[in-house]
């Protein structure tokens, strides 16, 4: 009985302590007045929130009205300039977006987000020189600003990944201006800092377009070896093309064959893979002249066994190509990727003309 009384007494004391603690936590001291935001500030917050909701739902036109009203109430708020510029750009009103970004930067010249959006707006407008100038200013700001402040400006944790986008944009701007060494330099920085398969692919394609195929091949080979079976079809296609351009037909055929086996490969990528495989087969047969000579001398049945197998391979690939794209021969030219070396585009266009020439039908029909 005594033990039970002791337990009840302890519980009662604990309840008193808990009630005292709760009271001290929830009852504010008498000398602290309630903190309430001014009505105008609450209105700005509400306008910006609605604007962001409209923007997220694809209604940039409605978002614009909310942001303009918020900006009229708080013209010194740099982030609202960024929001307004973004929805103007989304409506294709680049000139107005540029003006808004510049107005925001006049208030906050070290705002990295405003500077980045201005640079990309100029880039989309084709103002490559001014865009490059702004990208370099953005790099300086980003390097000189504390990470905490950058995170505040971006509205999320700032990471070194942001540099990858800046370097990649600079690479493309320099490339479009024909300043190839600078383009390759910044593309390399993006590739090294990004250190992922996507940046490897982008870097390789830029090197392709600069006709630096051997370097592109080394980069793509490292990706393929490291990833093995988990290589995207696009990377495999680029790898196969690089091998083809460096005359490594055996490995090129293996890589391009893997592209055709991947269900995720796009129709264009599959068509390109078949076309390059046809180019390899024709080259291995000694070119179109050799094929035409053998056909004129009596057809594949009377040629050597290797030549006969090549003819069958060419016919099979061509049949698959036409099944994949029945309108292949109706095209004025191939919709080749912009990063292909000119020599490759020319070679594949010439091959297409041969494939679609009715005079070569006997060589291609199974």
pLDDT digits (tens, 9 = 90+) for 83-139: 999 999 999 999 999 999 999 999 999 999 999 999 999 999 999 999 999 999 999
pLDDT digits (tens, 9 = 90+) for 28-59: 455 544 455 677 778 888 888 998 998 898 89
Nearest one of 97, 5, 83 to 50, comparing CA atoms: 83
- 180-208 mean pLDDT: 92
pTM for the structure as a whole: 0.74
Look up residue 232 and give its DSSP letter: -
- pLDDT for the residue 2: 52
- pLDDT for the residue 16: 44
Q: Which pair of tokens denotes residue 68? A: 């303009």
Q: Which residue has the tokens 């990470």?
A: 147
- pLDDT for the residue 292: 62
Residues 105, 118 contacting (CB under 8 angstroms)? yes
pLDDT digits (tens, 9 = 90+) for 218-251: 999 999 998 877 889 999 999 999 999 999 999 9
Mean pLDDT of the chain: 82
Residues 114, 78 contacting (CB under 8 angstroms)? yes
* Lowest mean pLDDT, pick from 32-46, 66-80, 140-154, 171-185: 32-46
Which pairs from 145-149 meet CB under 8 Å and 24+ separation? 145/110, 145/112
CA 143, 146, 150, 156 torsion-angle sign:
positive
Residue 126 burial by Cβ neighbours in a 10 Å radius (0-12, 13-18, 19+): exposed
């Amino acid at each position: 009985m005594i033990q039970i009384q002791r337990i009840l007494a302890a519980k009662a004391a604990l309840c008193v302590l808990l009630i005292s603690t709760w009271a001290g936590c929830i009852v504010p001291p008498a000398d602290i007045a309630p903190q309430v935001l001014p009505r105008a500030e609450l209105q700005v917050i509400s306008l910006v929130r609605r604007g962001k909701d409209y923007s997220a739902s694809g209604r940039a036109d409605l978002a614009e009205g909310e942001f303009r009203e918020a900006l009229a109430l708080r013209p010194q708020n740099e982030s609202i300039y960024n929001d307004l510029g973004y929805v103007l750009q989304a409506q294709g009103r680049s000139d107005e977006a540029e003006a808004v970004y510049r107005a925001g930067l006049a208030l906050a010249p070290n705002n990295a987000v405003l500077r980045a959006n201005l640079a990309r707006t100029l880039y989309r407008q084709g103002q490559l020189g001014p865009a490059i100038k702004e990208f370099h200013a953005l790099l300086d700001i980003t390097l000189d600003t504390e990470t905490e402040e950058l995170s505040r400006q971006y509205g999320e944790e700032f990471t070194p990944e942001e540099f990858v986008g800046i370097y990649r944009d600079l690479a493309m701007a320099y490339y479009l201006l024909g300043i190839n060494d600078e383009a390759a330099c910044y593309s390399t920085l993006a590739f090294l800092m990004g250190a992922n398969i996507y940046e490897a692919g982008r870097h390789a394609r830029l090197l392709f377009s600069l006709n630096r195929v051997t370097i592109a091949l080394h980069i793509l080979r490292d990706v393929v070896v490291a990833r093995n079976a988990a290589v995207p079809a696009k990377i495999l296609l680029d790898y196969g093309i690089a091998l083809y351009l460096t005359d490594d037909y055996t490995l090129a055929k293996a890589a391009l064959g893997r592209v055709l086996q991947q269900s995720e490969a796009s129709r264009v990528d599959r068509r390109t893979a078949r076309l390059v495989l046809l180019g390899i087969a024709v080259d291995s047969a000694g070119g179109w002249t050799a094929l035409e000579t053998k056909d004129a001398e009596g057809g594949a049945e009377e040629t050597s066994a290797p030549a006969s197998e090549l003819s069958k391979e060419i016919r099979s690939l061509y049949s698959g190509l036409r099944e994949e794209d029945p309108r292949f021969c109706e095209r004025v030219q191939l919709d080749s990727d912009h990063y292909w070396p000119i020599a490759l585009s020319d070679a594949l266009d010439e091959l297409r003309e041969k494939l679609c020439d009715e005079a070569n039908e006997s060589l291609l029909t199974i």
